[in-house]
Amino acid sequence: MMRFLAVSAAVVCTAVHASAISPTELGAFLAGRTLPPESPLAPLQDSREYREHARQYAAQWFRYKELYFDPMRTWSATELSPRIGSVSQVTYLFGGPDLISAMALFPGAHLYAMGGLEPVGRLTNPLTLPPEQLHASLATLRKSTEVIMNFSHFITKDMKTDLASSHFQGVFPIMLAFLSFADARIDAAERITLHRDGTLTPGESGDGQAALRIVFRATPASSPSEVYYFQSNLANDALGAQPGVLEWLRARGPSTGYLKAASYLPHEGSFSRVRDFLLENCRAILQDDSGIPVSVFRERGWQLIYFGNYTKPLDIFAKYDQPALRAGLGDGGGFSLPFGFGYRWQRGESTLLLALPPGEAPRAIPAGQAR
């Protein structure tokens, strides 16, 4: 396990194609964690500015770990896994770079398939940057993850603005930093291209969609896990022109769906294609109220298990209020949910819904749960 450089630290960044720098070292550098002295990046950690970056990022990570990551992982082990068993494949669309919550809730998965509008991005080799540009880019990356570290979700437009002028851009660097926070060993990180027929090719190509692939091990003894991120517009008309993401997912077979802070897009008719895909290809779906409407699950005969409480959506999403969800929770609320989640990030105000398709009964109901 890598130790933190200072009392607090961390950052977010991308993969560099520099043969002497491993992806694990790069993630650790961006996250503000101490590198071994033989690492080419180690000398860059000696400056006052870098130490301050490390201190501030560690403080952000400590807060996220205490409020979200650790409670999510404990809840997954005691409440989720007994009901659905082990999860080998996770489909997390609309989530942007939020790999860290998927790892907390589904720690044993071997495949995390993710997608969103956020650009894949790129990373300039830190060794080639003047000090002022390096430190400015680290600060910008740190700023780009402040919302998720404090409030458990990303805001796409803010992230694009924050990273527009940075040398560490997009989803790629953020995921590497998150993996370093989680003490993972990163074996490979590369940009790839997704084609209309769902096939992948290495590198960048003008006739496909930008994507990335990361291979990591959660512990030194773990078998490898893969992360695929597809920069993709998931609206019906866009998927008609570029159906590659659904073709690729379909070829992987059934998975566990995960929806969080999805801007209520699965409620819209213009996103019915991806919504129907999830309903037809998932063996379970875990989501907040911004995912698939409760009324749609009920029409399809899915079994619903409720956690937490439901008040109402934020004002900007007021039209997506769900009386059916409120009725399903009842006066006493759902089963225990010991962390905040999604847009209603404060503990006690969040809702999680576990949906199981017809014929897929929960494996067990954990004993001693309070409703």
pLDDT tens for residues 271-288? Answer: 999 999 999 999 999 999
**The whole model's pTM is what?**
0.90
For 146, the token pair is: 């402040």
**Short-list 48, 43, 40, 38, CA closest to 6:** 48
**Which sign, positive or negative, has the C-alpha torsion 16, 19, 24, 25?**
negative
pLDDT tens for residues 80-116? Answer: 999 999 999 999 999 999 999 999 999 999 999 999 9
- Sheet containing strand 209-217, edge to edge, reads 200-202, 185-194, 209-217, 225-231, 111-116, 89-93, 255-259, 282-287, 351-356, 303-308
What stretches in the chain show pLDDT beneath 50? Answer: 1-19, 368-371
For 89, the token pair is: 């494949």
